Structure 1
Amino acid sequence: MRKILCLLPLFLAGCSWLAPEYRRPVPTLPATWNGARVVPRDDRAWWQRYGDPVLDELEAEAARHNDDLALAKSSLSQAQAQYSYAFANQLPSLSVAGSDAYGKFADGRVRAMGQSFRFPGKTSNFGFVGGVLNYELDLWGKNASLSNAAKAGVQGAVYAQDAARLSVAAGVAKLYFSLRALDRNVAILQDSIRTQDDILALVQHQYDVGAVDALLLQDATERRDAVHAALPDMEDQRNNAETALSVLVGRSPQDIVQTGIARGRPLDELSVPEPTPSVLPSELLERRPDIAMHEQMLIASNFNIGYARAAYFPSISLASLAGVNNIDIDNLYRATSRSWTLGAAMAAPVLDFGRTESGVKLAKANRDQQVVLYQQSIRTAFKEVRDALLAQNTASERDTDTLARNDAAAQTLRLMTLRLQQGYASQIDVLAAQSTVQLAELSRVKARLQRLDASVDLYRATGGGFTAAPVKEKK
């Protein structure tokens, strides 16, 4: 018994040699991001670089209450419980067993549990209480493979949680920027309505005195009606964006209905990070949580092959029983003898009609599927980085161009106002210049929003600043 207990640590270690050796698929990676300058930085809270305290508060609120993050946390807890179960399955199990009998035996001697007992011809108690130790020798690494697969599942769940956190943070930032853009658009349209009303009133007066024809009046009327019709649609978009943001940050139904979203800095005053990635292409495989998650799923599927292959080989179990026996008329719990047994059992497959082979084929097919998904996640990641870089550069140029056009329109309005004061222009000329400024401002807001969204997409594509702690080995 002692010798077997001394060998238990060797058996506990097990082995997973039946699982194929894991080799990470090595894709062909570019050396640089098409000449883009790499700026090393630590952006775990990358949204703070936009310089809006309200956005920071919304991100913190989403981290606490978002439903997707709660589901990801629950999935992680499930994976951890599964790993704990798989790890414990490698260890011996100890249970308590007992029996009690009360009756009358014939006068004589009976041999049981390695002991000789004399039974008097009277009513007696016969009892046993002891411990049972069971252990399956993991010679083929079946339980070790299952434990390692579960461990990879935990690490994958950690990365999945990071991916959900990054996705939610990006969604909150983009929705907040859209809300601020819609706020500005509503204000511009309200100014445009007043301008178009004033223009129509002037044209109507000119038409009444015969200075202009009906065609010019009709054109002014249509312009005024178009601006009036655009405002309700813009307000609906703003309300929908505000509601969507309330849901994303995890607010209660009462708060969604009764409480609005606070507003921070105006859109033009928000800082826009430099349109450059913070990592090299080779580092993207480590930083993108979705890529890391798919690799852990691939590792788990690799160990599952070892678990399936172990079914080809015999399973060997050890069982030990030790306790005390009692034959006593008066006191059942006063031991009169001690006993122990040690046994081993082996079960080997002989004919299973291809069940084990099918299990191995299924495990290999799942591993091949995970290889494809892992490679697909890499391709998708590099596509998203490339698209985000191009969008950043384009949005930056468009933002600069619209700013120049907006400044030019504002300068025209100032000059037209001076001409009006000097008698060289009419009020309707000033109002027309003011309308041009408002149209330029709408284009400016659109370009600014595109630039902010492109910067968020770049943060998300390069993995943001996620950090995932490795799963510690249980002892």
Structure 2
Amino acid sequence: MNKSLISLAALALITGCSLAPIYERPAAPVTQAWPQGDAYKPGSQSADGKEAADIAWRDFIADAKLRQVIELSLANNRDLRVSILNIERARGLYGVTRADRLPQVNASVGQTAQRIPDNLSATGEGYITRSYSAGLGISAFELDFFGRVKNLSEAALQQYLATEEARRSQQISLVSEVANAWLTLAADQERLRLAQDTLKSQQISYELSKRRFDAGATSGLDVYEAQTAVEAARSEMAIYTAQVAADQNALTLLAGAPVAPELLPQDAVQPVTQLADLPEGVPSTVLQRRPDVLSAERSLQAANANIGVARAAFFPSISLTASAGSASNQLSGLFKGGSGTWSFIPQVNLPIFTAGANQANLAVARADRDIAVAQYEKSIQSAFREVADALAQRGTLDERVASQAALVEASDKSYRIREARYQKGADTYLNALVSQRNLYAAQQNLISARLAKASNQVTLYKVLGGGWQ
């Protein structure tokens, strides 16, 4: 037994304190400022000075339909339900370990009856003996001089708190996933409407090309090119029809129940949040408030307490078994004077030779603590990256949407001119078709850009720790 453990034992005997190391939060392995550069715009602050973690999701989500879908998911989503049940399980386990810190008193009442046969009786006649007892007893209660039971209880408490933080993290993810699924459905419905409109336009052009070909005003090549455009538009419409159905199925899974048609998005992609911008705050404050980071820290504290459990195994353990009550050979004399009985059985267990098992268990506990430290640091680094990525997207999305909108406008003008020239016979249908395809691609990309901007606000709210309340 090394000197440090002997010193810890002496301190424990005097004060009854724990043998677990004093917990110190590891330093955050990230910089104290968010990244800077061309991709990032200057930081902002909300009007009321609140951070994202302090803004309830009902105050953040502006669309009334989406709020109802989120309410439905919080009530019925099975993943969230499992997280809640895990909390109940962890609470129960903590209650079990906490109960071990106090003696458990049991009451007992009993009778013992025995018949003595004739051949064993001193008188040669068999007889029956009876005895009665009643008492209170304590069985194998451990005097926790070295904090073994206390640290087991502390580890269970931290695991329970980690499970609670995991539930909050699950809710944050669920709110974000439902909002993004709802926005994705809106975008794909808009893409489907665009494909339908494009198909109608291409069918009109195809009919025009056929009439011109029948009149001898154009070649068969224009007819075939027009037909390829119709079939391409029909294929796009089929793809987005299936995609819209898949989006609805995904939303139903997240909600955990069928979503009423009136709660589905009906319009084009629009921002669904109350705030025009979110304050990013200071990394050291924001990241350490995220439930997933807090959960990792709780697990680290539990591992730290388990070191105290492993250290306590090197020292004696003292347990008490005691009882007191009354005993008599007659039921009527059970509580009369002179019938009192008691027993007191202290037991000391001193580890002498364990073939290195205690040392190995301590090494395992320390390794578990070091693993928990690495996992805690990784959770902070991952959280930092998620926020940095969302901020980089936020800093460039306005320019992306504006440039894409300008491209749609220019492509539309180009297509209209090409189409007019073709109808007047001044240009080939191929040039008009190329312009139409460019316009269609630009319109699809504009929908994607608007979806990215709306989703970025939701994602930024999530990675900054908002949505758990």
Maintained 8 Å contact 2:83/2:163 = yes
Q: Distance in 2 between matches of 1:433 and 1:157?
A: 57
Corresponding letter in the other structure for 2:251: L
Secondary structure of 1:317's match?
strand
**Which segments of 5 or more consecutive residues in structure 1 lack a partner in the other structure?**
1-9, 107-120, 468-475
Corresponding letter in the other structure for 2:137: V
Is structure 2 residue 31 aligned with structure 1 residue 30?
Answer: yes
How far apart are residue 317 of structure 1 and its match? 1.2
Maintained 8 Å contact 1:416/1:425 = no
Residue in structure 2 matched with residue 247 of structure 1 by the alignment: 253
Residue in structure 1 matched with residue 67 of structure 2 by the alignment: 56
Corresponding letter in the other structure for 2:323: L
How far apart are residue 161 of structure 1 and its match? 0.3
Residue in structure 2 matched with residue 233 of structure 1 by the alignment: 239
Secondary structure of 1:128's match?
strand
Correspondence list, 1:197-208, <5 A: 197-208=203-214
Residue in structure 1 matched with residue 108 of structure 2 by the alignment: 97
Correspondence list, 1:277-316, <5 A: 277-316=279-318
Corresponding letter in the other structure for 1:75: N
Residue in structure 2 matched with residue 378 of structure 1 by the alignment: 380
Residues 261, 290 of structure 1: CA spacing in aligned structure 2 closer, same or farther, 3 A cutoff?
Answer: farther
Is structure 2 residue 465 aligned with structure 1 residue 463?
Answer: yes
Residue in structure 2 matched with residue 152 of structure 1 by the alignment: 158
Residues 274, 32 of structure 1: CA spacing in aligned structure 2 closer, same or farther, 3 A cutoff?
Answer: farther
Is structure 2 residue 85 aligned with structure 1 residue 74?
Answer: yes
Is structure 2 residue 397 aligned with structure 1 residue 395?
Answer: yes
Corresponding letter in the other structure for 1:315: S
Corresponding letter in the other structure for 2:136: G
Q: Distance in 2 between matches of 1:26 and 1:448?
A: 39
Correspondence list, 1:56-205, <5 A: 56-103=67-114, 124-134=129-139, 135-205=141-211
Residue in structure 2 matched with residue 114 of structure 1 by the alignment: none
Higher mean C-alpha deviation, range 376-385 or range 217-226 = 217-226
Q: Distance in 1 between matches of 2:459 and 2:466?
A: 10
Maintained 8 Å contact 1:19/1:304 = yes
How far apart are residue 26 of structure 1 and its match? 0.1
Q: Distance in 2 between matches of 1:297 and 1:432?
A: 59
Maintained 8 Å contact 1:395/1:450 = yes
Q: Distance in 2 between matches of 1:130 and 1:171?
A: 60
* Alignment counterpart, residue 323 of structure 2, candidates 321, 324, 330: 321
Q: Distance in 2 between matches of 1:54 and 1:46?
A: 14
How far apart are residue 71 of structure 1 and its match? 0.7
CA-to-aligned-CA distance 1:269-290 (integer Å, 9 cap, x gap): 4356545443221112322111
How far apart are residue 24 of structure 1 and its match? 1.1
CA-to-aligned-CA distance 1:361-419 (integer Å, 9 cap, x gap): 111111111111111111111111111111222322211212223344566788999x8
Q: Distance in 2 between matches of 1:130 and 1:276?
A: 67
Secondary structure of 2:263's match?
coil
CA-to-aligned-CA distance 1:131-161 (integer Å, 9 cap, x gap): 1024210000000001111111111011100
Residue in structure 2 matched with residue 443 of structure 1 by the alignment: 445
Q: Distance in 2 between matches of 1:223 and 1:434?
A: 9
Maintained 8 Å contact 1:275/1:389 = no
How far apart are residue 309 of structure 1 and its match? 1.2
CA-to-aligned-CA distance 1:297-343 (integer Å, 9 cap, x gap): 00000000110111111110122211012133x74655451122333
How far apart are residue 260 of structure 1 and its match? 4.8
Maintained 8 Å contact 1:174/1:456 = yes
Q: Distance in 2 between matches of 1:217 and 1:415?
A: 20
Q: Distance in 2 between matches of 1:424 and 1:220?
A: 15
How far apart are residue 238 of structure 1 and its match? 0.8
Corresponding letter in the other structure for 1:326: S
Identity over aligned pairs, percent? 27
How far apart are residue 455 of structure 1 and its match? 2.1
CA-to-aligned-CA distance 1:57-100 (integer Å, 9 cap, x gap): 11111111111101111111111111111111110011123442
How far apart are residue 430 of structure 1 and its match? 9.9
Corresponding letter in the other structure for 1:165: Q
Secondary structure of 2:313's match?
helix
Corresponding letter in the other structure for 1:63: L
Q: Distance in 1 between matches of 2:434 and 2:455?
A: 32
Q: Distance in 2 between matches of 1:385 and 1:47?
A: 22
Aligned length: 432
CA-to-aligned-CA distance 1:29-58 (integer Å, 9 cap, x gap): 433323531423355434754531111011
CA-to-aligned-CA distance 1:108-137 (integer Å, 9 cap, x gap): xxxxxxxxxxxxx97553221101024210
Q: Distance in 2 between matches of 1:317 and 1:365?
A: 30
Alpha-carbon RMSD across the aligned residues, in angstroms, is 3.2
Q: Distance in 1 between matches of 2:417 and 2:16?
A: 86
Secondary structure of 1:287's match?
coil
**Which segments of 5 or more consecutive residues in structure 2 lack a partner in the other structure?**
1-11, 37-41, 118-125
CA-to-aligned-CA distance 1:331-358 (integer Å, 9 cap, x gap): 4655451122333111111111111111
* Alignment counterpart, residue 41 of structure 1, candidates 50, 72, 89: 50
How far apart are residue 25 of structure 1 and its match? 1.0
Maintained 8 Å contact 1:314/1:346 = yes
Residue in structure 2 matched with residue 355 of structure 1 by the alignment: 357
Corresponding letter in the other structure for 1:21: I
Q: Distance in 2 between matches of 1:151 and 1:286?
A: 20
